[in-house]
A and B are shown apart, each in its own frame.
Chain A
């Protein structure tokens, strides 16, 4: 079975400061990892993915994520937070074999204070 843990329900950061949203995963085989963002009353928007290759993945809106196989982590980062980054962030995983459905974490609410 595959699973995702997002240990923080909420992350608070001041505008202009770096942010990190944590994610750890468990999956059989090689992981395909994703980050999505959800704004109020909206669906999920794709931010970035790790399939293979470089451990540092760059995505939309200045976000990036670092894949760490030994720690089974895929933390989302941004060097300088914006107030408009305030939203709900979901990490998701699927294995490279078997079921294609994504397993999502519980979500982390990011609050960027001006």
Chain B
């Protein structure tokens, strides 16, 4: 079974621009979560989507948004980029059900804002 895929792997943007990152979960997984990883703040939860609905949201400004499509693929968007948005953005998918709790992570998208 293919793992979680994220595109693009690397991205360089300028302050003020906006960016869209994509995540394809493992086949059969309907829950997708996004995390931001930085050296200073560590791993922080952004949001979770299930069946095209945002189920949970972390403490990030409204510039960070996401969505999920009917095939469970998810995108996150960051508008008006700031230097502090430079980070590794990780997507994770989970199969819903009593036995399945672990999240499987993609390789991440490394975003650099200059």
Query: Do A and B interact?
Result: yes
Mark A residues whose CB is within 8 Å of B: 32, 34, 36, 41-46, 49, 51, 90, 94, 99-107
Mark B residues whose CB is within 8 Å of A: 4, 6, 31, 33, 35, 42-43, 45, 48, 55-56, 58, 90, 92, 94, 101-108, 110
Majority SS of interface residues in chain B?
strand
Most chain A Cβ neighbours within 10 Å, of B43, B55, B108? B43
Q: Closest A residue to B9 by CB, please name it.
A: A41
Q: Is the CB of B102 within 8 A of A49?
A: yes
Q: Is the CB of B102 within 8 A of A34?
A: yes
Q: Are A46 and B101 CB-contacts (below 8 A) given A100-B31, A100-B48?
A: no
Most chain B Cβ neighbours within 10 Å, of A41, A90, A103? A41
B99 → chain A closest CB, angstroms: 9
Q: Is the CB of A99 within 8 A of B56?
A: yes
- Give Cα distance in the complex from A43 to B3, angstroms: 11
A-chain residues with CB within 8 Å of residue B45 when the two chains form the complex: 101-103
Q: Is the CB of A104 within 8 A of B43?
A: yes
Q: Closest A residue to B44 by CB, please name it.
A: A104
* Subset of 17 A-B contacts with CB under 8 Å: A34-B101, A41-B110, A42-B107, A43-B106, A43-B107, A44-B105, A46-B102, A49-B102, A51-B101, A100-B48, A100-B56, A101-B45, A102-B33, A102-B45, A102-B103, A103-B45, A104-B43
Q: Is the CB of A101 within 8 A of B33?
A: yes
Q: Is the CB of B104 within 8 A of A100?
A: no
B-chain residues with CB within 8 Å of residue A42 when the two chains form the complex: 107-108
